[in-house]
Amino acid sequence: MGRTYLIVVAAFFGSLNVIMRYLYAMPGPPSASVLSVVRNFLILICFVPMLLSRAQPGLKDAQSPGFYKAAFEMAIWNLGAQGALTVGLLFTDATRASFLTQTSVVLTPLVSLFAGEKVVRAVWFACMLSLVGVVLLTLSGSPAGMTAVAGGLNLGDLICLTGALSWSIYIFRIGKITRLGFDMSKVQAWKNIFLTLFYLLWLAGDAFRVGLGNVQSLWAGWGSPLAWTLIAASAIFPGIVADLFQAKGQKAVSASESNIIMSSEPLWTALLCLIFLSETMGLMSWIGGGLILLAALLASLSS
Summarised one tens digit per residue, pLDDT across range 85-94 is 999 999 988 8
Taking each helix axis from N to C end, the angle separating 67-88 and 2-25, rounded to the nearest 10 degrees, works out to 60
Over its C-alpha atoms, the chain yields an Rg (Å, rounded) of: 19
The mean pLDDT value for 198-205 works out to 96
The vertex-74 CA angle with 265 and 60, nearest 5°, equals 115
- 17-26, 51-60, 140-149, 285-294 — most confident range: 17-26
Closest CA to 302 of 123, 84, 154: 123
Count CA atoms within 13 Å of residue 115 on its CB side: 13
d(CA 42, CA 299): 33
Is 114 a residue whose pLDDT tops 60?
yes
Give the pLDDT of residue 101.
87
Give the pLDDT of residue 135.
76
The mean pLDDT value for 72-77 works out to 94
| Cβ pair 82, 140 in contact under 8 A | no
Q: What is the mean pLDDT of the chain?
A: 85
Give the pLDDT of residue 283.
81
* Residue 142 pLDDT grade (very low, low, confident, very high; cuts 50, 70, 90): low
Bridge-based pairing of strands 153-154 and 148-150 is antiparallel
CA distances from residue 242 to 101, 184, 248, 249, 266 in whole angstroms, order as listed: 18, 17, 10, 10, 16
Give the pLDDT of residue 141.
60
Residues pairing with 182 in the sheet? 60
Quick: pLDDT tens for 152-178.
678 888 999 999 999 889 888 887 888
- Whole-model pTM over 0.75: yes
